[in-house]
Structures are given as structure tokens and as C-alpha cells.
Amino acid sequence: MEITRFAPSPTGHLHIGGGRTALFSYLFAKANKGKFLLRFEDTDQDRSKGEYVDSILNSLHWMQIKLDSEPVYQSKKIVKHKELAIELYKKGFAYACDCSEETLTKMREQQVAKKLKPKYNGLNRNKNIEFAEGMVLRFKFPLEGESKFKDLILGDIAINNKEFDDFIILRSDGSPTYNFSAAVDDMDMKITTVIRGDDHITNTLKQINVLEALGATIPRYAHLPMVLAESGKRLSKRDGAEDILDYKKKGYLSDALINYLVRLGWSYGEEEIFSLEKLQKIFDLSDVNSSPSKYSQDLLNWYNNKYLNFLSAEELVIKVKENSGVDFREIDNGNLAISLLAKGANSLNQIAEDSIYFFEEPQIKFDALNVDANKKILFSEFCKQLKKIDFEKNSIEKYIKEFLQANNLKFPELGKPLRVILTGRENAPSISELLFILGKETSLKRIEYTLDD
């Protein structure tokens, strides 16, 4: 059975790139009727924080990613990992090293002076130093040949073993290092496919060697190309590398974010809209693009607008209330108002922000309209006749058309100021819909307020 995992270090919130990695890992497991596991790599005691564990769990929950088992906390396995590192040492796959900081610094300086890549030069590799507490254990990296694997996205990857050094698996304080613990945990958790960012490619080659030394089955690996900013540079906070939960706060729908994230590097013919349910059936790593993808706020907004409009008015009312406290049930025609606003909105928050004029009188005086004073009579006339008509959408539309014709006016001459009168804004939805949703009494009250001296 396919088993995948997401292995964040809880040293920060889950951002766009991490969210996408988790999603791809989850979808791949589900599409193969497998399991998705979560492992917190929380061994860095200074930087790992409980609040980040909670925030990552909340983010995954909001993204509708379900775990098939309780999360694993790597920090709880330090003792076991240490034992295993010592076992590798006893079997000859690792060696003890007592090089001082000074020796290592000198080594580095000499290499830099010779324009060589700084790395541990194997000084103690063949000295058979007996391990004692306070020493480090180094992995005996193969000296000849190359380390390789076939990446499920990137294809064949091979690096000459001379590029690597005998990296530390157990630090002098007795704590295991990332490349050792990650390999051991992937073995323990019986991970079949490791899916993570392509910044881990060299780590993968190290981990494969550790797994071979441990006699473990080597999982398959898939490295996801980076998500870049629109500029092509690294994604920074400003571009949207932010906390996944910020998107929730800003009024993005999780279905929209999921759809957007999955399209960051994955495609399926020409289709653009995917439900999570469908993704859980069709997702495959072979459809992941091997070049980096670019974050686009506009595209995310486009998706969110689409998904907002998939919701019924009732669902929108509940979600807007949850997100911003604005309750469309407090106004007449609340369902119509919210559906109208959703058409032009990119987020739940925008619906709430744009809705003010349904809740409060804009109170615009004629002088503020930037309209010729002699047009005032025209508006009075419009108002007078509006009182008489039947307030249905069709009749309002028909009346506006006739009024424009009779007075030889172009639509904006009436529409623009009227929009400001009714909403206090220049950009607002269709006039006839606005009049209809606000209702006769409110509409007339607003126009009369404007016309009153």
C-alpha cells in the first residue's frame, strides 16, 4: 500500500510552498488508496514551537487534509535514533570523530584557499576511534561511484560521491541530525513515496545511503520544483509566502485555495476547476511539471471568485458572518444582496467590505456629485416617476430605459451619479439590481436625501 508523509519542521507557520507539498503528498496517497501521515521534525528545540505545531495542524485541517494516523513527533524518538546511530557505528557504517572546532576551521580555511568546496576531509575515517559521549558520529559515505535515484517528477538524478563528505549523524551533544532521523523515520513509518521540495535533492542522496546502511527498503522520491514569485525570484512574504491561515482570515475559501495550489505545477488537460473529491481520484505525480511554477495572486483571486459563486446565497451568508461578523440576515433581500456582491468579489472579506451601503445610508448631498446644478430637476423627475412604478426588476429596467430616451440622456449621465447616491461609491453593481434589492422605500429615501437642500 502507498504511504506518504508530510514532514514539516514546526519552526514557522505553514506557507504556500509547504501547503502545496502537503496537498500533493495527500492527494497522491489518496489517489492510490493509500495512507497519508504527518511527522513533525521538531528536534531543533530552540526553533520548534508548540504554537507552530498547532498552526500547521489547523492549516491542514482547514485544507481538508486528513491524517490516517496520529502525528509523529520526531523529538520523542531521539533516544531510539541515537541507539541506531551507534548501531551503524558498531557495524562499521559510521565512525567516531573527535576533531576539534579548531581543526575543522583550519581544514575549511585550507580548502577555501585552494578554491575547493569546504567539506570534512575524512581525517578520522580510518582511525578506528572508540566512540565516547561527547564525540560525533560520521557516516562513512561511499568514496567511489555515484549516488542516484529515479525521481518520479524529475527523472534520473545522480551525483558523484566525491561531492559528499562523511556527514555527521550524531552530534557531540548526543542528538541525531536531520538526514539521519529523517531516513530512520521514513523507514519506521514504512513510507513508500517521499514527496518534498527540490531543495532536498542532496539530502535524498544522503538519506538513500543511510537507508542502505540500515538495510531498509528505499522509498521512491518525488521532488517538487519550487514555487517562485511572479518576478521569477524566490517567493517572499510580500508575494504570498504567508501563512495558509492568513488566506482563511482574508476570506479565501479552502476549496478555492486547494484548486489554486494543485494547479501550481500540476495539470490535467485543459481543465481548471477541480473538486477535492475529484483530485483524490485523478491526481498523479506524472502530471506534475518539472519546471518551477509561479505564484499569482490574480489567479488565486480568480479561483476564489469562481468558488464564491458556486455557493448558494444561504451558504455565503453563513461564511461571511463567520469571517467578518457582517450578517446579511439583518437586511431586506439579504440573499439577493450577497449574491450580487459575490459576482464581483475576490473574497468573503471583500463582500463584507463592499456591503456597507446595504447596512448604512451613504448620505450623499447633491453638491458632492460633480454634476451640473441644472440636472437636479432631472433627478427629481426621475424620483417622482420611480415612486409610481411597480418595483420589479424588469419594470425598473424598462423605466430607466424609457426615462433615458425621453430625456435624451446616455446611461452614464444618470447611472454614474445614481450609483453614488445609492451606494456612496463609484464602483458598484448594476443600477436596476441595486434599486430592486434596496427596495422602493430605501432607494427613494436615498435619492431624496441627496436632492434635499
Number of neighbouring beta carbons within 10 Å of residue 240: 18
Taking the least distance from each CB to ligand GLU, the nearer of 18 and 251 is: 18
Measured from the CB atom, is 104 or 201 closer to ligand GLU?
Answer: 201
Count Cβ atoms below 10 Å from residue 241 Cβ, excluding itself: 18
**Binding site residues, ligand GLU, CB under 6 A:** 7-9, 41, 182, 196, 200
- Largest alpha-carbon pair distance within the chain? 103
- The CB-of-5 to ligand GLU minimum distance in angstroms stands at 7
Q: Which is nearer to ligand GLU, 14 or 438 (CB)?
A: 14
Q: Between β-strands 220-224 and 293-294, what pairing exists: parallel, antiparallel or unpaired?
A: unpaired
To the nearest whole angstrom, how small is the minimum distance from the Cβ of residue 353 to ligand GLU? 36
Instruction: Using alpha carbons, select from 355, 353, 366 the residue that is nearest to residue 420.
Output: 366
Query: Which CB, 191 or 420, lies closer to ligand GLU?
Result: 191
Residue 314 CA, distance from chain mean position: 27
In the complex with ligand GLU, the residue whose CB is nearer, 151 or 433, is: 151
Instruction: State the nearest-atom distance from the C-beta of 4 to ligand GLU, in Å.
Output: 10
Query: What is the C-alpha separation between 395 and 189, in angstroms, rounded?
Result: 68
Reduced 3-state DSSP string for 223-260: EECCEECCCCCECCHHHCCCEHHHHHHCCCCHHHHHHH
Beta strands in 269-310, from DSSP E residues, in sequence order: 293-294
Cα torsion 17, 23, 26, 32 to 10°: value is -110
Q: What cell numbers appear for 85 in the block?
A: 546511530
State the amino acid at position 182 in one-letter form: A
Between 8 and 176, name the residue whose CB sits nearer to ligand GLU: 8
CB of 244 to ligand GLU, least distance (A): 14
As a whole number of angstroms, the distance between CA 400 and CA 389 comes to: 11
Tell me how crowded residue 94 is: count the other CB atoms within 10 A of its CB: 25
| DSSP reduced 3-state for 413 | helix
Rounded distance, CA 369 to CA 384, Å? 20
* Helix runs in 117-274, H state only: 178-188, 201-214, 244-249, 254-262
Can you read off the three cell numbers belonging to residue 272?
481548471
- The least distance separating ligand GLU from the CB of residue 435, rounded to whole angstroms, comes to 55
Nearest approach, Cβ of residue 21 and ligand GLU (Å): 7
| CB of 41 or CB of 433, closer to ligand GLU | 41
Residues 224/196, Cβ–Cβ less than 8 Å: yes
Shortest gap between Cβ of 199 and ligand GLU (angstroms)?
A: 7
Shortest gap between Cβ of 347 and ligand GLU (angstroms)?
29
For residues 47 and 387, which CB has a smaller minimum distance to ligand GLU in the complex?
47
In angstroms, give the least distance from the CB of 13 to ligand GLU: 12
The nearer residue to ligand GLU, 33 or 47, going by C-beta atoms, is 47
